Amino acid sequence: MNPVVVTGVGVVAPSGTGTEAYWKSTLAGELHVRPIESFDASAYDTTIAGQVPAFRSEDYLDDRLAVQTDRWTWMALAATEFALADAGYDAGGQDRYHTGVVFGSGSGGVEFGQREIQALWARGRRAVSAYQSIAWFYAANTGQVSIRNGTKGPSNVVVSDGAGGLDGVGCARRTIRRGTPTVLAGGTEAPLCPYSLACQTANGRMTTSPDPVHGYKPFDVAANGYAPGEGGAVLVLEDARKAGQRGVERPYAEVAGYAATHDAYHHHRAPRDCGQLTRCMRQAIADAGLSPADVDVVIADGAGSRDLDGLEVRAIRETFGSRADRVPVTAPQGFIGRLCAGGSALNLVAGVLAIRDGVIPAVGNLTDPVPAYGLDFVREPRRMPVDVVLVTARGYGGFNSCVVLRGPDHANRAS
């Protein structure tokens, strides 16, 4: 089996549209969680979020398509465009069946959905847009990206809340191993309309602080819930040999390991122990043919509440044993909020860039780590050679997923 490698990445994030803008801001440690601007959220318990500034559909697609699609689709189309350009990959120039699209999705095109339900109940069924049936549903992005880029290969939509970005990449790797040379993977979200914010506040896990600095604080003594956010990332994944044949000299990284488990404990409550998360980490590392001693950095889920952060810390301790306090742990999403499936996809990009540049970004908005956690949280960008990255993500209701990224030299050797 040839390795599966990352050959291109594209980012639309609160901290930057475009990979380098995102990365620069992340390494600069800028906080991009702000009071919600797109509507008056003052009646909500949660009033802050990570918002992509000045993101306009007209920069990426024509008006005709813009009226047919939700903001989450605009972001997916933009991130895909960036990723394909970065990879130098022209899907239309290949056998159309050789490229697939596998995205995670948390909540679909929910602003579009709110608008049309509103139209129906306020004005009747004739007021409902002809595009409602294709704009809200969770497969909208996969379909639109496939159509726009002319890809006809095996495609999928994997939904597991915040773990979806990693599960999509796991599914993409499976698809490549089964013979499709290239798959676009990742995901975006745009859940910041009045109705979807109301839905999200119902989960009881978001911050109620109006002050971004005191809001989402993963692993902090003041952790009090997360801030939601919009955006995400798309990655071009390729069979390493095929990528080499088309002239990719040095891919970013190899998707070396993947695993998923489920707590199967309670529909809402955090599990009693971290057993399934630990198993997920161990299994992903083993799947990469590595041992915990090989891992250079953990990009954590960093849920931003004491119970869930505590469980993740315990899983890291159990996985890394006596080395646990020496493995750098980060969670750059503290700077931008939790982007659901888009966030886990984006953390893969952070891992890829950490490998590329030999620098680990800091935990976002961490002021005062819980002393008892006893982990090596990255407080300032840390320059060091990075070869193996463990990315973890969780989804509401008990989903756990991990991906292990590895530097490109191994993949090149193997091919």
Partner 1 sequence: MNGRSSVITGVGVVAPGGIGRKEFWQLLTSGRTATRRISFFDPDQFRSQVAAECDFDPLAAGLTRQEVARSDRFTQFALVAAAEAIADSGLDLDSEPVDHDRLAVAMGSAVGATTRLENEYKVLSDSGRDWLVDPRYASRFLYEALVPSSMAAEVAVRFGAHGPAAVISTGCTSGIDAVGYAHQLVEDGDADVVIAGATDAPISPITMACFDAIRATSARNSDPEHASRPFDASRDGFVMGEGSAVLIVEEAEHARRRGAHVYCGIAGYANRCNAFHMTGLRPDGIEMAEAIDDTLRQAKLRAEDISYVNAHGSGTKQNDVHETAAFKRSLGEHAYRVPVSSIKSMVGHSLGAIGSIELAACSLAIEYGVVPPTANYERPDPLCDLDYVPKTARAEELDVVLSVGSGFGGFQSAILLARPGRTS
Residue 311: how many other CB atoms lie within 10 Å: 24
Nearest-angstrom CA–CA distance, 240 and 181: 9
Nearest-angstrom CA–CA distance, 415 and 239: 10
Q: List binders of partner 1 among 190-249 (CB under 8 A).
A: 191, 194-203
Q: List binders of partner 1 among 49-68 (CB under 8 A).
A: 68
* Region class of 290: left (phi > 0), else alpha (psi between -120 and 50), else beta: beta
Task: Report the candidate in 42, 352, 44 with the shortest Cα–Cα distance to residue 198.
Answer: 44
**96 touches partner 1 by CB under 8 A:** yes
Specify the amino acid at residue 141.
N
**272 touches partner 1 by CB under 8 A:** no
**279 touches partner 1 by CB under 8 A:** yes
Torsion angle, alpha carbons of 59, 61, 252, 388, to 10: 90
Say how many CA atoms lie within 13 Å of 114 toward its Cβ.
17
Strands 4-13 and 16-17: antiparallel
**265 touches partner 1 by CB under 8 A:** yes
* Shortest distance, position 250 Cβ to partner 1, whole Å: 28
Q: Considering beta carbons, is residue 133 or 291 the nearer one to partner 1?
A: 133
Q: What are phi and psi of 385, to 5 degrees?
A: -65, 130
Per-residue x/- mask for partner 1, residues 361 to 400, rule CB under 8 A?
Answer: ----------------------------------xxxxx-
* Shortest distance, position 40 Cβ to partner 1, whole Å: 6
Q: Considering beta carbons, is residue 137 or 382 the nearer one to partner 1?
A: 137
**116 touches partner 1 by CB under 8 A:** yes
Nearest-angstrom CA–CA distance, 360 and 331: 10
Is residue 360 within a helix (H) or strand (E), and if so which, with residue range?
Answer: strand 359-360
Contact 210, 36 (CB under 8 A): no
Q: List binders of partner 1 among 122-141 (CB under 8 A).
A: 122-125, 128-130, 132-134, 136-140
Chosen residue from 25, 51, 142, 344 binding partner 1 by CB under 8 A: 142
Per-residue x/- mask for partner 1, residues 159 to 198, rule CB under 8 A?
Answer: xxx--x--x---x--x---x------------x--xxxxx
Per-residue x/- mask for partner 1, residues 3 to 42, rule CB under 8 A?
Answer: ------------------------------------xx--
Nearest-angstrom CA–CA distance, 149 and 141: 12
Q: Considering beta carbons, is residue 254 or 263 the nearer one to partner 1?
A: 263
Q: List binders of partner 1 among 321-350 (CB under 8 A).
A: 340
Listed ranges 19-27, 96-104, 209-217, 342-350: which one lies at the site for partner 1 (CB under 8 A): 96-104
β-bridge partners, 253: 6
